[in-house]
Amino acid sequence: MAEPVGYLVASQTRWRLALNEMLERIALDPQVRGGKPVIRGTRISVSDILEYLAGGMSQEQILGDFPDLTEADIRAALLFAAERERRLFSAL
The closest alpha carbon to 23, from 66, 86, 78, belongs to 78
32: Cβ–Cβ under 8 A, 6 or more apart, which residues? Answer: 38, 43
**Full residue range of the structural domain in which residue 29 is found:** 5-90
Q: Is the pLDDT of residue 2 over 70?
A: no
Q: Is the pLDDT of residue 23 over 70?
A: yes
CATH assignment of the domain containing 73 = 1.10.10.10
Q: What is the pLDDT of residue 53?
A: 98
Q: What's the pLDDT tens digit per position in 36-88?
A: 999 999 999 999 999 999 999 999 999 999 999 999 999 999 999 998 888 77
Q: Is the pLDDT of residue 20 over 90?
A: no
Number of compact structural domains in the chain: 1
What is the helix (H) or strand (E) element at residue 38, kind and residue range?
A: strand 38-39
Q: How far is CA 48 from CA 34, 69, 85, 90, in A?
A: 14, 12, 17, 25
CA distance 50 to 54: 6
